[in-house]
């Protein structure tokens, strides 16, 4: 009886493992059969994702997402707008299949969702008002207020590395820059491109100061257990890096002089050295 019980248990766990493996494989096939992949982004974080003049999603992340979908064999992308802080729970609740919006694969997020290969990178700076000469680097931030966007990796970085600053979290990335422009916060932690974009579009009197504080990779995120989807997306992204597509899209959407693939390599080297 005891031996039979063991054999029964082994058979059960073997069957369970095979079923789980089949489900992971079927996730990609199901998307292909459905013909639509749901991809979340904020649509409010240029140049990564935003609404263009035609009121349709645009930006670097959007362009990469469309190409990834094509390469993994899914005909159509349905973009779903959501806030950064909701992305992880949204994936777990199956509100969407992927998140592609400048989302950094942090250790905390990797406990809850999976990430494919990184396709983007940003340099993060402190931004201040143009007439502010008291803050020239992070060394000047103790006791001063700094705005961050809720749920983003720059908020996590600030809470870890700027513990003596007054960190203020904003739901909307645009509002944090508006408050900086009118002096409600002393500084904002942001990507260089995000800050420069808001400066130009909203005609804000702000500037980046000091050296880059950190690099942050961005990668497609998906629910745990979607192994076939993760591997296919990684293969697509790796191919886009190798054949020059990533740099071409970065040139189109971010700027002609931004070496995206070199930045991705530098960020990975920084992470490996930590």
Task: Give the residue with greater pLDDT, 21 vs 255.
Answer: 255
Q: Which pLDDT does position 31 carry in this prediction?
A: 94
| 173 & 230 share domain | no
- Of the residues 172, 201, 216, the one at which a domain ends: 216
- Return all residues near 60 (Cβ < 8 A) that are at least 6 apart: 47, 48, 49, 120, 249, 250, 253, 254
Contact 148, 216 (CB under 8 A): no
pLDDT at 270: 77
76/204 same-domain check: no
239 vs 21, residue with greater confidence: 239
The mean pLDDT value of the chain amounts to 88
pLDDT category, 19, cuts 50, 70, 90?
Answer: very low
Mean pLDDT of 15-20: 43
Report whether pLDDT(274) > 70.
no
H/E/C letters for each residue in the chain?
CHHHHHHHHHHHHHHHHHHHHHHHHHHHHHHHHHCEEEEEECCEECCCEEECCCCCEECHHHHHHHHHHHHCCCCEEEEEECCHHHHHHHHHCCCCCEECCCCCCCHHHHCCEEECCCCEEEEEEEEEECCCCCCCCHHHCCCCEEEEECCCHHHHHHHHHCCCCEEEEECCHHHHHHHHHCCCCCEEEEEHHHHHHHHHHCCCCEEEEEEEEEEEEECCEEECCCHHHHHHHHHHHHHHHHCCHHHHHHHHHCCCCCCHHHHHHHHHHHHHHC
Q: What tens digit of pLDDT does each residue of 168-212 get?
A: 999 887 799 999 999 999 999 998 878 888 898 889 999 999 988
**What is the average per-residue pLDDT within 240-261?**
92
pLDDT at 131: 96
* pLDDT reported for residue 4: 55
Domain count, the chain: 2
Assigned token pair, 255 = 């700027």
Of the candidates 79, 91, 68, 73, the residue with the CA atom closest to the CA atom of residue 35: 73
| 192 shares its domain with 235 | no
Q: Three-class SS string for 29-55? A: HHHHHHCEEEEEECCEECCCEEECCCC
**What's 198's domain CATH number?**
3.40.190.10
**pLDDT tens digits along 218-233:** 999 999 999 999 999 9
| Domain limits for position 158 | 122-216
pTM here is 0.70
Last residue of a domain, one of 172, 198, 216: 216
pLDDT-above-70 percentage for the chain: 90
Q: What is the pLDDT confidence band of residue 101, given thresholds at 50, 70 and 90?
A: very high
Do 260 and 162 share a domain, yes or no? no
Report percent pLDDT > 90 for the chain. Answer: 67
What does the pLDDT average to over 125-140? Answer: 96
Q: Which of 216, 241, 261 is the last residue of a domain?
A: 216
* pLDDT interval class at 15 (50, 70, 90): very low
Average pLDDT over residues 123-134: 95
């Amino acid at each position: 009886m005891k031996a039979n019980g063991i054999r029964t248990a082994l058979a059960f766990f073997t069957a369970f493992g095979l079923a789980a493996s089949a489900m992971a494989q079927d996730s990609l096939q199901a998307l292909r059969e459905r013909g639509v992949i749901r991809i979340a982004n904020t649509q409010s974080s240029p140049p990564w994702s935003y609404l263009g003049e035609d009121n349709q999603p645009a930006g670097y992340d959007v362009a990469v997402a469309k190409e990834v979908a094509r390469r993994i064999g899914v005909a159509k992308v349905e973009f779903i707008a959501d806030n950064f802080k909701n992305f992880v729970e949204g994936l777990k609740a199956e509100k969407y299949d992927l998140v592609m919006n400048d989302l950094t694969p942090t250790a905390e997020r990797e406990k809850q969702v999976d990430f494919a290969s990184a396709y983007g990178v940003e340099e993060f700076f402190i931004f201040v008002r143009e007439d502010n000469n008291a803050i020239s680097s992070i060394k000047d931030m103790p006791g001063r207020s700094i705005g961050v966007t809720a749920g983003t990796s720059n908020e996590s970085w600030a809470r870890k590395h700027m513990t003596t600053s007054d960190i203020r979290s904003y739901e909307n990335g645009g509002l944090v820059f508006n408050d900086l422009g009118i002096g409600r916060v002393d500084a904002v932690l942001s990507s260089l491109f995000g800050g420069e974009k808001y400066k130009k579009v909203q005609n804000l009197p702000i500037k980046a100061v000091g050296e880059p504080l950190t690099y942050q990779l961005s990668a497609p995120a998906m629910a745990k257990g979607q192994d076939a989807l993760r591997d296919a997306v990684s293969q697509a992204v790796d191919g886009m890096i190798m054949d020059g597509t990533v740099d071409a899209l970065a040139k189109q959407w971010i700027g002609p002089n931004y070496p995206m693939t070199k930045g991705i390599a530098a960020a990975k080297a920084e992470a490996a050295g930590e």
